[in-house]
Structure 1
Amino acid sequence: MRIEVIRLRDDRPVTLTSYILDTSPEISWGRRPAIIICPGGGFVRTSDREAEPVASIFLSRGYHAFVLRYSTESMGVSKVYPDVVIELANAVVSIRRNADKWNIDPGRIAIIGFSAGGTVAALYSVNWHRDWLSKLVNAPKDTLKPSAVILAYPVVDFAVMNEVTKNNRNTPAAGVLFKMMSLALGSGKFTEDDLRELSATYHVDENTPPTFIWTTADDDVVPVESIISYVNALARNKVPFEFHVFEKGVHGLSLADKTTASNPQHVNPPVAKWIELALSWLERHIE
């Protein structure tokens, strides 16, 4: 396996770490699919728990894997939007342009995002075909198209989060809402229009790729109502999707087993089944 850290920007440490499986005459496999992983971290940082361990699972199933470390506050950045979406677009372009070199099938490039990384992945999935994005990255729209998207406990509807938390601003969800919106816009002052602009829910259309989503019913950081709102938007626009809500589980479970656990709550066997469900779904959509 070849591992390389690719610098996507000169002004800050935005990187794409590639994990490229070696070819072998003993293995009957042509061009491989690729997965781009967007870790969470509330736009403050990108979590290691949702990076290389996740890549390892996809590598074991024959995917080349890429981890995107997009713009966050930890890089000294006070405003991350639309940079994070542009950075994901540049990652997709880089992978497609190197498809021959890396033995990748350019028609099978999927994205997975966790929490705030889910915000990035979802916003990209509803904007990849927009003129503004194509112009900013200087690439044709077809080059930007993702084959499928997986969203794990994603922040996709700030407007609903605001509504759910309006009577109690001391909840974890309210704190995440304020912090992420402040970092997205570079200001702690935002309007209802701003909330909707930064919410992928209100930009879903027929061009949104097939989407797999999972969360837990008692996640106190990203209310399940806000994710159901996104699923409803997918249904209205007839976008193929699969949606799983597990009964119990804290926010930020990643793989929900000891390989990604930083405390006992992160080991959740019922929820750990999500990765097999997602891989099976992904095979039906990009294999």
Structure 2
Amino acid sequence: MLLGGSAGGHLAALVATRPNHWQDVADELAKTVPARPDALILLYPVINTSAQSSSINRYLGADASDELRRDIAPAAHVDAETPPTLIFHAADDPAVSVEDSLTFARACWKAKLPMELHVFSSGGHGKDFAYDKDIGPRWRQIVADWIQKLP
């Protein structure tokens, strides 16, 4: 199982959808242990890699090529092997648009994959979301319940 939030959510989604893309051929462990997680939990993930994504532009620069942007776009690489996914986002997130989570969810739904999306009306981003007195306990209980249902 792999969990990631914000930029870490982007990385987690990328590992889940392109597990061998950046594999080091000299890595002995990678030859015996699959990189793709068996389940994925994303918290307010950065998914949009377009030129309009301020999050991605901070990392790549605004002049990054379209080819690179496609290469690191997790939703573009969702396939039948993408693991069951649970996504959380707050609609009032000031840092990452809820559209990012919707983009990944739509790709999973289109591929008919097990995917669950929870969008809270408030909760912000990062620490605000995780420790909000109402949302914090709710999303953690949803995670616990979801894990119990995994095969």
TM bin, normalised by shorter chain, reads: 0.7 to 0.9
| Alignment-derived partner of residue 23 in structure 2 | 133
Question: Contact 1:121–1:151 at 8 Å: present in 2 too?
Answer: yes
**Structure 1 residue 142: Cα displacement:** 5.5
* Greater RCO, CA 8 A, separation 6+: 2
2:127 paired residue among 248, 253, 276: 253
Moved over 6 A (4+): none
Q: Does 1:274 align with 2:108?
A: no
SS of equivalent residue, structure 1 residue 219: coil
In 1: Cα distance, 2:37 partner to 2:79 partner? 14
Confirm whether residue 215 of structure 1 aligns to residue 89 of structure 2: yes
Is the 2:90–2:129 Cα contact (8 Å) retained in structure 1?
Answer: no
CA deviation vs aligned residue, 1:158-188 (integer Å, no higher than 9, x gap) = 22x72xx6xxxxxxxx2x2321234xxxxx5
Structure 1 residues 217, 200: CA separation in 2 closer, same or farther (over 3 Å shift)?
same
More strand, by proportion:
1
% identical equivalent positions: 30
Count of residues in Structure 1 that have an aligned counterpart in Structure 2: 150
Q: Which runs of 5+ in 2 are unaligned?
A: none
TM norm structure 1: 0.47
**Residue 193 of structure 1: CA displacement?**
2.8
Q: CA offset at residue 244 of structure 1? A: 0.2
TM-score normalised by L of structure 2? 0.85
What secondary structure, in the 3-state scheme, does the structure 2 residue paired with 1:113 have?
Answer: strand
Q: Matched residues in 1 for 2:128 and 2:38: separation?
A: 22
Q: Structure 1 131/255 Cα, relative in aligned 2: closer, same or farther at 3 Å? A: closer
Report what 1:236 is aligned to: 110
- Picking from 174, 196, 200, the partner of 2:70 is 196
Q: CA RMSD in A?
A: 2.3
User: Is the contact made by 2:15 and 2:36 (CA closer than 8 Å) also made in structure 1?
Assistant: no
1:157–1:196 CA contact under 8 A, matched in 2: no
**Contact 2:15–2:35 (CA under 8 A) maintained in structure 1:** no
Render the CA deviation track for 1:17-44: whole Å, top value 9, x for unaligned: xxxxxxxxxxxxxxxxxxxxxxxxxxxx
Task: Compare CA radii of gyration and give the structure with the larger one.
Answer: 1
Deviation at 1:226, TM superposition (A): 1.9
Distance (whole Å) between structure 2 residues aligned to residue 131 and residue 245 of structure 1: 30
Task: Please state how far the C-alpha of 1:255 moved relative to its aligned partner.
Answer: 6.3
The offset of 1:253, in angstroms, is 3.2
2:60 corresponding residue in structure 1: 181
1:153 aligns with 2:32: no
Structure 1 residue runs without a partner (length 5+): 1-109, 166-173, 183-187, 258-266
